Structure 1
Amino acid sequence: MTRSPSPLVIDGISKRYGDLTALDGMSFTVHPGEIYGFVGSNGAGKSTTMRIALGVIAADSGEVRLGDEPLTESSRRRIGYMPEERGLYPKEKIGTQLIYLARLHGVDKSSAENRTTGLLEQLGLSDRADDQLESLSLGNQQRVQLAAALVHDPDVLVLDEPFSGLDPVAVNVMSDILVERAESGVPVLFSSHQLDLVQRLCHRVGIIAAGRMRAEGTVDELRDTGEDTYEVHVDAPGDWWRTVPGATAVGDGGDTVTLLTLDPGSPATDQDILRAAMAAGPVHHFTRRRPDLSDLFQEVVKP
């Protein structure tokens, strides 16, 4: 499907609950065709941001826009929202309530039925359309919750912890759907504590703490801000690395395994570390470890 959607713009939103500052000037943009990972510890402000975007709660200041236009009750119908807490009817048939939700968004009956059938087939639930939601496993209930966010064919997707409780097969199914929607031009915003998935799926990532954006960029950009670690397995005394300018030992695995970093501004390179190791003794293993998103997250959010 060809789309011409607008970016989702979070512009300086703030929210307080008494003495608690839930959001403090939160700003970021999710562009059409982009999967944006929104990560932070519990209580950092992720769900509050999403609920403000959906109009569930009001911001104290700032605004949420689709392109240049502030969101209205009408334009919010263009958003597909998947809350962290399941919000469907446990005793209703799956197919019936998906059709009902599509109709609430203005979809005609025939299209609502076709979209429901297609989504349930794509999610591996085509044989469960007449089952009550509560009869499904928690993982399959999560799949239905995603179908509810997609059934009206939204122009924007906002998903709060969509991968929670899913087995690896279901994770792959949901990942493929998010990628498919992004490739059709939809801006996709999702929060997750599963940073390996965020690193694999997202074009850009925003890391928040205490209601503020602390780091933002592509995964590679964020990883480039971290410190590389060098793992060396060498048959030599543990202090052989002291001949390398700016090298610092950050851990060891016994007599033959050393973990090193290079101080900022050090003239040394990985090749200098390798040469020093080879001069000290037989080298059995040498590797450069780039920091992953989990390492960076812990560094960014620590007090």
Structure 2
Amino acid sequence: MTGDQITQPYAVEGRGLVKTFGDFRAVDGIDIAVPAGSIFGVLGPNGAGKTTLLRMLLGIIDPDGGERTLLGETEPLKMARQVGYLPEERGLYPSMKAAEAIAFMGALRGLPLREGRARARELLAGHGLEASADKPIRSLSKGMAQTVQLLGTIVHQPRLIVLDEPFSGLDAINQGKLEALIRREAEAGVTVLFSTHVIAHAERLCERIAIVAGGRIRFEGSVSTARDRLRPQVRLETRASDGPWRSALPPDARVDGNIWQFALPDGGIEPLLKALVDGEAGIESLSIERPGLHDAFVAIAGESAAREMGKAEAGEAQG
């Protein structure tokens, strides 16, 4: 029985993956498991090893060490027709018409051209681009051309979609459209694996993530689990600036005027509330905020990795 005839709990697996280029170890012993039917994000700064990892998992390049399984097959290229792959380096023939470009990309994955042309027009219409079906790629805006390439990635209806930095270069409107497309594919049972250096996309989309830095996975698990590594933060505003209630606040509480910020105490909020009321602190406002994925990323990967992520995102915004 072949891999595509077996229901696998994981669409993609890698164990002990290593890849070196000269003296540089781009991937340094990575273990990863992508549940079938999930949206899985590989999150990390540029140069962290994300692209090399994806290419090894797909069989585009071979690892120097370790094993990988793709849709149940230990030789990933055998499952190429079941995969839609959008590389970080985009490329379409400028003179080719949009619908033909999509059909051509499908044909490379085994989809008959006649069927590909019909599906291409359906996909373009579904994305409000039916008027562009017979226009050459060179006449399309950058966002429209990237959408065409994305549609070419899914036209053959793959079981696994792998997107390398898919949001790069897209404006906010097209980023939203791409997020909606990813959700629709996942709802249809397709596994979506994508890399990104933009934390917000991973936080909104992913069920599970892998945080990669320096060629190693620093964390793999649910977004919720990553956020739970940090304690919730309390923001308290009081009318009084001093009193016996202050001893109930953590020693490392930060204060700005009469606004206090600190991690939720181990005993929870109730003992603190009692101390504040009994001590006549005069509570103006009190909120408890769960840490976001950005805070968790900083705690897991470090400030330097977070700064690199921020620089890359700022550079794209300026570009």
Q: TM-score, normalization: structure 1?
A: 0.89
Cα offset for 1:280? 4.2
Question: 1:156 and 1:79 mapped to 2: Cα distance?
Answer: 5
Contact 1:98 1:148 in 2 (8 A): yes
Question: Letter of the aligned partner of 1:273 in structure 2?
Answer: L
Q: 2:189 aligns with which of 153, 178, 185?
A: 185
Contact 1:38 1:206 in 2 (8 A): yes
- Indicate the larger mover: 240-249 or 45-54: 240-249
Contact 1:8 1:31 in 2 (8 A): yes
- Partner SS state of residue 42, structure 2: strand
- Indicate the larger mover: 207-216 or 55-64: 55-64
Q: How many residues align?
A: 296
Question: Letter of the aligned partner of 1:289 in structure 2?
Answer: E
Post-superposition Cα deviations, 1:99-155, rounded to whole Å, max 9, x if no partner, equal 112122211222111211121122222111122223222222221121121111111
Question: 1:24 and 1:72 mapped to 2: Cα distance?
Answer: 20
- Partner SS state of residue 26, structure 2: strand
Contact 2:80 2:109 in 1 (8 A): no
Cα offset for 1:173? 2.0
Does 1:50 find its partner at 2:54? yes
Contact 2:250 2:262 in 1 (8 A): no
Does 1:96 find its partner at 2:95? no
Does 1:9 find its partner at 2:13? yes
- Partner SS state of residue 248, structure 1: coil
Contact 2:211 2:218 in 1 (8 A): yes
Cα offset for 1:258? 1.0
Cα offset for 1:203? 1.0
Question: Letter of the aligned partner of 2:293 in structure 1?
Answer: L
In structure 2, what is the equivalent of residue 108 of structure 1? 112
Structure 2, unmatched stretches of 5+, are 305-319
Contact 1:78 1:155 in 2 (8 A): yes
Question: Letter of the aligned partner of 1:93 in structure 2?
Answer: K
Question: Letter of the aligned partner of 1:260 in structure 2?
Answer: F
Structure 1, unmatched stretches of 5+, are none
Contact 2:230 2:296 in 1 (8 A): yes
In structure 1, what is the equivalent of residue 269 of structure 2? 270
In structure 2, what is the equivalent of residue 255 of structure 1? 257
Contact 2:57 2:76 in 1 (8 A): no
Q: 2:236 aligns with which of 232, 237, 246?
A: 232
In structure 2, what is the equivalent of residue 206 of structure 1? 210
Question: 1:258 and 1:135 mapped to 2: Cα distance?
Answer: 56
RMSD: 2.2
**Residue 195 and residue 247 in structure 1: after superposition, are their counterparts in 2 closer, same or farther (change >3 A)?**
same
In structure 1, what is the equivalent of residue 287 of structure 2? 287
Question: 2:243 and 2:213 mapped to 1: Cα distance?
Answer: 38
Contact 1:241 1:247 in 2 (8 A): no
- Partner SS state of residue 99, structure 2: helix
Question: 2:7 and 2:174 mapped to 1: Cα distance?
Answer: 28
In structure 2, what is the equivalent of residue 300 of structure 1? 300
Q: 1:19 aligns with which of 20, 23, 39?
A: 23
Contact 1:10 1:63 in 2 (8 A): yes
**Residue 8 and residue 35 in structure 1: after superposition, are their counterparts in 2 closer, same or farther (change >3 A)?**
same
Question: Letter of the aligned partner of 2:269 in structure 1?
Answer: D
Contact 1:248 1:262 in 2 (8 A): no
- Partner SS state of residue 152, structure 1: coil
Question: 2:54 and 2:179 mapped to 1: Cα distance?
Answer: 20
Greater percentage in helix: 2
Does 1:243 find its partner at 2:242? no
Question: 1:292 and 1:123 mapped to 2: Cα distance?
Answer: 32
Question: 2:52 and 2:91 mapped to 1: Cα distance?
Answer: 17
Question: 2:18 and 2:53 mapped to 1: Cα distance?
Answer: 9
In structure 2, what is the equivalent of residue 156 of structure 1? 160
Q: TM-score, normalization: structure 2?
A: 0.85
